Structure 1
Amino acid sequence: MHDDILCLGEILWDALPDGLFLGGAPFNVARHLCALGEPVAVASRVGDDRLGREALRRLRAQGLDASLVQRDDTLPTGFVQVALDAETDEPDYEIVEPAAWDAIAQTASLTRRAEHAGALVYGSLAQRAEGSRRTIQRLWDTDALCVFDVNLRPPFIDRKHIEQSLHAADLVKLNEAELQCLRTWFGLPERPKAAMAGLADAFACRAVCATWGGDGARLWTDGDCWHHPGYAVAVEDTVGAGDAFLAALLAGFLDGRAGPDLLALANRLGAYVASRSGASAAYEVEGLNGVATLSLKERPGPDAPQE
């Protein structure tokens, strides 16, 4: 068993057509890691309000360590209005600011936890404000595996902060649109393998994983770029699917799994969450091997290195 995984960043409420759902990428990743049997803690900040108290209650109810979730007596708990595109089912986010998660403080307990963590998961959205950004960046200076979930959310996109996050990262996860953005910024090649290899080389990353919507996902590591075609599901909505994908990917990576196995596990859990409403789809599995028991049909096409 490896050391704790520390998921650092926003906790917020997603206002979906079906109601309010507790979310935020770090929370979603942590929840899925916990379901997979991984030791995990969430570091964030909520308001001293009704939504904040309910967020803490739900964290604890799901078996998550909430000791690093700070309380703010001035800023409100994070809130997001989510609209789903009728044709693509892709979410459009209106992220309220400021919010309590903009002011995560570097406490002694948070620093100690980061120093002993096996992995530190962080994204770009939580760095939109100076307070949380400063805390997150200071915590990169540890021996933990740094996992950067690119997670671009307009208008909170700052190239300088993205570059800093990439330089700190060992493992980078992004989607096809985000990879295209980085291609433009950094002059990366057009072909997937070359683009991902170029990104890894430019920022000294150990691995780069890109999700490709209906075309599955690709993983570059150790000079190879593996592809998995994904699973055929009736998509309910894609909110939180990428977070589930990252949780399975990271758990498998820390477990020493090979590229094809990593992608199969991550695609399976991501597809399952996409087939359910909201980011908090209910399921029970016993560790990584249990992910394979979720009943999904794989799309045609074997796992294979990609050019």
Structure 2
Amino acid sequence: MAFEGRSRLFRRWCPPRKGAFGKIKLPELPLILAGALGGPFCIFVLTPLRNALTLASQDAVSSPMELYASTFQGGFASGWTGGFAPVLPSCPQFCMMGPLFHFLRETWGSVALAVLASSCMETFISYGSQTLNAQMAFNSEVQQSGTGAEVPLWNPLIPLGPGVAVHVVRNVVALSGIRIFSGPCQKVLKRLTQSFNVELPLGLQRFLSDFVASIGAAIISAPLNQCYNFAVTSAAYMEGGAPARVRALAGFLSRNYLLHGPAGEVLGLSPTLARDLFMRCAYVATLFTLFGAIERAAVAVWKYRDAQQQPVLSRRGTVGVRASS
């Protein structure tokens, strides 16, 4: 019985694929280009939002606008402090999120396994550069404010380090938005619009579905993201052992997201949680919605290009054959 249960579970998550490995469809060139070029563009443009989240992990008092303003404290260009560090790694990183995901989904027949594998590879590629970016933003704020102590900068060539487990889980949750939950969101949106006799273009439906799904993923991944930011900007965490790191993360979550009474009892949730959820949503929803739009635009442009290059007579002949059949 146990073997049969495992077999059913395996078939559910990874159903058998028809045909040989050689018949598996590889990612299309526009998907590869979208990951290689669109990914770095998204990462660099949204650097100020990412830096503000890093500052928020060490500041439970400031409002979102104050944190966003802090990223530009040294001038407009200071908002992009450390922004170039993750640009080059984000090229293969988004190839993991895009082309590799599509390839693994086609190979394994499982969206969930493809998301998990892609997220692990994404962490392996991006952990070093994202950690350096976060530390540079944190140190810049320390220099501008004159308070606190700077943290030593991480070597971006080292792919694993403190907070990497949280980094992986965060990536799994974040990527699940457009890869797993966007489809159900689109179905709900379609039923909702039909009930009001409203017809939305398919492209707009997909865009809104990606946005809503990314919002949900951002809400779930927000505490994980802030745990990672805290880990890589806290000298005590970086230098501590495993038990000390667990206690540090537990203390961070308790201090930032729970309200305590005089005797230490938990009274409720802190307003800081709502702040971090908002800031994480602003970043993740924008990032993944923009990347999803770039993916679809690249595919649409590529199909239009192929259609324009196809001989006119050949297209007419194809139409005639279809009509006669």
Please confirm whether the aligned pair reaches a TM-score higher than 0.5, indicating the same fold. no
TM-score, normalised to structure 2's length? Answer: 0.28
Higher fraction of strand: 1
Higher fraction of helix: 2
TM-score, normalised to structure 1's length? Answer: 0.29
Q: Which has the higher contact order (CA 8 A, sep 6+)?
A: 2
